[in-house]
A and B are shown apart, each in its own frame.
Chain A
Amino acid sequence: MTTAPTAGGAPTSFLEVRDLRIHFPTDDGLVKSVDGLSFRLEKGRTLGIVGESGSGKSVTSLGIMGLHTVGQYGRRKARISGEIWLDGKELMSADPDEVRRLRGREMAMIFQDPLSAMHPYFTVGAQIVEAYRVHHDVDKKTARTRAVELLDRVGIPQPDRRVDDYPHQFSGGMRQRAMIAMALVNNPELLIADEPTTALDVTVQAQILDLIRDLQKEFGSAVIVITHDLGVVAELADDILVMYGGRCVERGPAEQVFHAPQHPYTWGLLGSMPRIDREQTERLIPVKGSPPSLINVPDGCAFNPRCPYADLPKGGITRTERPELRPVPDAGDGRPHLTACHLPQQDRTRIWNEEIAPKL
C-alpha cells in the first residue's frame, strides 16, 4: 500500500493520498519533509494529523492543496511524487489550471495565523467576496449577501456591518472565524485546518472547535485537522495519523490511538503532556533527545535514536531496516489501525499495559 504508487486506478474513498513524497532541495542537502505518506478519508469524517514541528504535517496539507508546485522564480521547486485522489480525480498529474479551479471550491484551507493569511489592505468582506466570485459567476451584490450570511453563520456579531471592517479591526478569535467563513464560502467538500486554534486562547479555542464540528455536521465535508495538540485532535478527529520525521508512524481510529496506542512515539507524546483529566503525576515522562533533522533522517525507524525500546530484541531485524506500516491485529471495530514499529505485537501490548498506561 505504501510502496506501490502506480497500483490501482481511481479509489473508492473521497480523498486518497498514495505514497506522497515532498522533498525540497536546499544548499545543505535534500529536505525530505514528507517521505511516503498514504491515507484515505471519507466525506463527513475528520482526520487528525498530529506531529511535532518539522514532522511534515503542514507540508502534507499544502501538498494536497497543490501549493508546492510553484517555486519562486522557477527555482528551488519542491520535488513531489505520489498520487492524490480527490473525488475520483488525480490531482498530481492534473493540469494546474484544473487544480486551481478545484482549490477553494472543492478543497479549502483554514490557515494557522489569520492575521498573516488575510490581506491587511482589503476589507474582510471584499476578501470573502473575491473567493466566492472566482468560482461563481454572480454579481457583487449576491456575493456580498453570501459573505454576510457566512459571517453570520460563523458567529460574527452584526455581520452586515462587520463585513466592511478590515482584518485589524477584528480580534484574534473573530479573524479566525472570518477565515473559516472564507474557506466555507464555496461549500468545499474537503476542508483542511492547519493548526486552526494554536494562536488562540483556550476559551476562544473551545468556541472555534465547536464551530468546526458544527459546520462539518451541517455541510458533511471531509475535514483534516493538523495540530501538535493531542487535546485538539481528541476533540475533533475520528481517525488519527501520527507523523514523525516525514512518515506516518501510527494511524487508526481516535479511540484506538488514545487507548491502545502501538508506537513508542505515540506513547512518548501521551506521556509528555500534563493532563488535566487525570490525577496529578509527580513527573512527566519526556521523550529523550530532540526531533531529527529532515536532511539527515536516521536510517531505519526515524524514531530509533530516541526510542527507549530500540534495544529490545526484534528477531534479527537490524536498526537500519525501516519498519513498514502494518495492521495491528484485533484492533476493535474493524477500521484499520496501523503502526510502523519493529517491536513484536505481544511486546508492544505488554509495554503499553504494564509500563506506560499506569503512569499516564
Chain B
Amino acid sequence: MSIPKQPAPAAAEPLLKVEGLVKHFPITKGLLRRQAGAVQAVDGLDFEVRAGETLGVVGESGCGKSTMGRLITRLLEPTAGTIAFDGRDISHLGVAGMRPMRRDIQMIFQDPYSSLNPRHTVGTIVGAPFRLQGITPEGGVKKEVQRLLELVGLNPEHYNRYPHEFSGGQRQRIGIARALALKPRLVVADEPVSALDVSIQAQVVNLLDDLQDELGLTYVIIAHDLSVIRHVSDRIAVMYLGKIVELTDRSSLYAAPLHPYTKALLSAVPVPDPRRRARRERILLTGDVPSPISPPPGCRFHTRCWKATEVCKQQEPPLTALLPGHRVACHHPEEAPTEAVREGAPA
C-alpha cells in the first residue's frame, strides 16, 4: 500500500539540532596573554531535541554538561559547530540577533539564591522578560505575572515580596515562572532540583512535569542525579569529558546500558534499600575524571575503563547507532541487551 508522502508529524521534527558543537575556553599565560592551552569543555557534540520531549543530560562534574546548556541557550559563543533551532542556525547570532529568539529559548538555573536579584521584587523579576522584549500581555504585565505565579504554585499576592522572603523551593518556582513568562518552546534547566531538599525536589519535579503537559514544552534537563534524570527524561545523553558517550531512550539506557561508563555510573548510584546492600554488584571506577585541559587520547574513558585495549588508546570511537535509536561511542560495547538485564527489584 502506498502512502502519499506527508510532512513528518511535528513530534518527530527536531526542534533543536546540534552538530559538531565545540567549546574551548582559552588559558592565557604571561603578560601578552598568549594562549597556553584550552579547557576543552565541550568537544564535538551531535544530538537533536524533538519537539515535546525531554532530553536528559547526565554526567559527572566537569563533563561539560552545563557548558552545553549555556551553548544551546547561546549564553556562550561556540568555538565550532552549529546549533539550529527550529531550522534556523543560531550558532553565531549576536546579542541583537538572539533577542527575538530568547522568547523561544529560556533557561532555569541551578541555584535559586544567586539567580534572583535580591533587590528586585518577585513582580519585577517575573515581569522582566516582558519589559525586555517590549511585550504587553493581555490584561497588563501585573495580571500576567500573577497568573504565572499561580501557575507555578505560588500565591499571586506575593507579587511585591522580595526573594529573601521565600524558601529555596519557592525561589526555584519563581525562576520557573520567569522562564515560562514568554511562553518559550524550549526550556533548558541546569540542575533544577539539586539545590533543594528531597521533599521539595519532588514538588519541583512534579511541577515541571505538569507544566510540560499543560504548555507543551520541550525540555533539556541537565543533572548529575541519575534517579532524577530517569524520572524526568524521555531520552538521555550521558556525557564524559566533553563528549556524549551514550544517547538513547530512557528505558534502554537504564535496562541495558551499552557503554561501560554508563554501566559503572548506574551501578554506583546508592539505592535506598538496605536489603540490596549485600547482593548488589558494583563496578568501582578507580581514580578521578582526567582534566579537560589535556584529555586522554583515543577514547577519553580508557584511563578508567576495565575493558580498555590498545585500540581505545589510539582511536576515538565515533558515536554510532548500535541498536535502532541507541547511539554509543565505544570500541567494546556491552554485549547483547538480554545479558545486561537489570537486576529485578520487585517492590
Contacts and interface: CB of A to CB of B under 8 A. Distances in A.
Interface of A: 52-53, 157, 171-174, 201-207, 209-210, 228-235, 237, 254-255, 258-259, 268-281, 283-288, 290-291, 357-358, 360
B231 A280 contact: yes
A157 B231 CA distance: 37
Contacts of B282: 206, 210
The 5 A-B pairs with the shortest beta carbon distances in the complex, nearest first, are A231-B270, A286-B202, A272-B202, A274-B231, A206-B268
Given A52-B198, A201-B60, A279-B347, A290 B226 contact: no
Contact of B347 (A171, A235, A254, A358): A358
Interface of B: 60-61, 167, 169-170, 197-203, 205-206, 209, 224, 226-228, 230-231, 250-251, 254, 264-277, 282, 284-289, 343, 345, 347
Contact of B206 (A172, A228, A283, A357): A283
Contact of A234 (B209, B274, B347): B274
A255 B273 CA distance: 8
Contact of B270 (A229, A283, A285): A229
Nearest to A174: B288
Nearest to B228: A274
Nearest to A199: B61
Contact of A235 (B230, B264, B277): B277
Contact of A273 (B61, B272, B277, B289): B272
17 contacts: A52-B199, A172-B61, A172-B288, A174-B288, A202-B224, A206-B282, A207-B284, A207-B286, A228-B197, A234-B273, A235-B271, A237-B274, A258-B273, A273-B227, A274-B205, A284-B202, A358-B347
Nearest to B226: A276
Contacts of B209: 283
A291 B197 contact: yes
Contacts of B197: 52-53, 228, 291
Given A174-B288, A272-B201, A358-B347, A277 B265 contact: no
Given A234-B272, A278-B347, A284-B231, A272 B198 contact: yes
Given A234-B271, A272-B198, A279-B347, 10 more contacts: A231-B271, A231-B272, A254-B274, A259-B275, A270-B272, A277-B271, A277-B343, A278-B347, A284-B202, A290-B170
A91 B250 CA distance: 53
Contacts of B266: 276
Contacts of A275: 227, 271-272
Given A203-B60, A272-B198, A286 B167 contact: no
Contacts of B169: 290
A37 B285 CA distance: 39
B199 A269 contact: yes
Interface centre among B274, B285, B347 (most CB of A within 10 A): B274
Contact of A276 (B201, B202, B269): B269
Contacts of B228: 274
A290 B284 CA distance: 36
Contacts of B276: 234, 277
A18 B209 CA distance: 45
A203 B264 contact: yes
A207 B286 CA distance: 8
B227 to A, nearest CB: 4
B288 A171 contact: yes
Contacts of A291: 167, 197, 199
A157 B286 CA distance: 11
B325 to A, nearest CB: 18
Contacts of A174: 288
A279 B347 CA distance: 8
A279 B342 CA distance: 11
A46 to B, nearest CB: 11
A360 B272 CA distance: 11
Contacts of A206: 267-268, 270, 282, 284-285
A172 B224 CA distance: 16
Contacts of A287: 199, 202-203
Nearest to B203: A286
B342 to A, nearest CB: 9
Contacts of B343: 277
A35 B227 CA distance: 33
B226 to A, nearest CB: 6
Given A174-B288, A206-B284, A258 B274 contact: yes
Nearest to B197: A52
Interface centre among B250, B264, B266, B272 (most CB of A within 10 A): B272
Contacts of A281: 231
A269 to B, nearest CB: 6
A255 B274 contact: yes
A280 B249 CA distance: 13
Nearest to B204: A286
Contacts of A228: 197-198
